[in-house]
Amino acid sequence: MHVIVIVLLAVMTLEHVYFLYLEMFRWTSPATQKAFGITAAFAEESKTLAANQGLYNGFLAAGCFWALLAPGHLQIELTLFFSACIIIAGVYGGLTVSRKILYIQALPALLCLIAVHIFPGYS
């Protein structure tokens, strides 16, 4: 797999592990509240929902990590699938929550999807 695809997959993996961490373990912290633009009361009321969302982000991270480690053609297929999943999640979040999500979550996945098509081949 091309180094650009590998770097983008690594970025997506790390981002989603970080999202998992924030949403599952740091949701009610002042820094996380500031980052997400939420109040302490809202954070407390929504912490179970945020933890659930964090778990889903963990699955996306696991898929990206799997794509990094998978052999040959499976790498490409996994990269395409998980990039598409992240793009869909990022677009939905960008339309319903904050436009920042488009740039933070969907853009790296879109670039990865494009890179897979520009630099075809297997490891």
Report which of residues 74 and 72 the model is more confident about: 74
pLDDT of residue 120: 73
Domain residue limits at 7: 3-118
In a domain, residue 93? The reply is yes
Q: Quick one: what percent of the chain has pLDDT higher than 70?
A: 98
First to last CA, the chain: 5
Q: Is there a domain that residue 87 lies in?
A: yes
Tell whether 11 is covered by a domain.
Answer: yes
Does residue 92 sit within a domain?
yes
Q: Give me the chain's average pLDDT, please.
A: 94
Of all residues in the chain, the percent with pLDDT exceeding 90 is 87
Q: Per the domain annotation, does 123 fall within a domain?
A: no
Residue 66 lies in a domain: yes
Number of domains composing the chain: 1
In this structure, is the dihedral angle defined by the CA atoms of residues 46, 83, 59 and 103, taken in order, positive or negative? negative
Listed residue (93, 86, 77) closest to 111, CA to CA: 86
Q: Does any domain span residue 40?
A: yes
Q: How many CB atoms lie within 10 A of CB 83?
A: 28
Q: What is the pLDDT of residue 41?
A: 96
pLDDT tens digits, 23-68: 999 999 999 999 889 999 999 999 999 999 999 999 999 999 999 9
